[in-house]
Amino acid sequence: MPGGRDRALLSGACPEAATARESSPVEATTELNRVELRRYLDRVGDRWPIERAILGGARVADLHGAPAQRERGPEFVLILVSRAYDGMPWLERVYQAGALWDALEMGAAADVHCYTPVEFERKRASLPSVRDAAEHGLELTAS
C-alpha cells in the first residue's frame, strides 16, 4: 500500500505533538498601551508639529465593543495631520512616522497615514479606513 509506511510514522510517533495540543490558550489583551502612545506622539512631535492624531483600527473597535466575529482589518490605523507635511513627499512622511511606531510595545504594526489638513479632508472622503478612524477612532491630540 503506497504511503502506508509514512502514515505509520506520523501516527503518534511524536509525543511532544500531543502535549503541544493540550497547552493552554493565550489571552489577547484589548487594552491600549497609552504610555507608549504618548511616547510615540512625543517622538513624532519632535519631528513635526502635529495638529491632529487619530487612532483607529481593530483594537480601537474592540475597545468600543465590536463583535469578535468580524473582519478585523488592520489592528491600528494612525492618522497624523500636520501643515509641516506640505511639500514633503508622502512616502517619506509615512516611512519616517511608521519607523517611529514601536509594534512590539503596542502589540501590532500600524497603518500610518500622514496628511496635511487639506489632504486629510480629501482622504477622509475617499478612503474608508481613514473615514472610519476619523468617525470612530480615538482623538489623541486636540487641534
Here the contacts of 35-38 (C-beta below 8 Å, separation 24 or greater) are: 36/102, 36/105, 36/106, 37/106, 37/140
Convert the pLDDT of each residue in 87-130 to its tens digit.
999 999 999 999 999 999 998 999 999 999 999 999 999 999 99
| Average pLDDT over every residue of 25-39 | 73
Domain 34-139 has CATH 3.40.718.10: no
The four Cα atoms 39, 44, 47, 52 give a dihedral, to 10 degrees, of: -120
The helix or strand, by DSSP H or E, that contains position 81, with its residue range, turns out to be: strand 76-81
pLDDT at position 9 = 44
Instruction: Look at residue 25 in the predicted model and tell me its pLDDT.
Output: 47
Name the β-bridge partners of 138: 55
Element (H, E) at 9: helix 4-10
Average pLDDT, the chain: 82
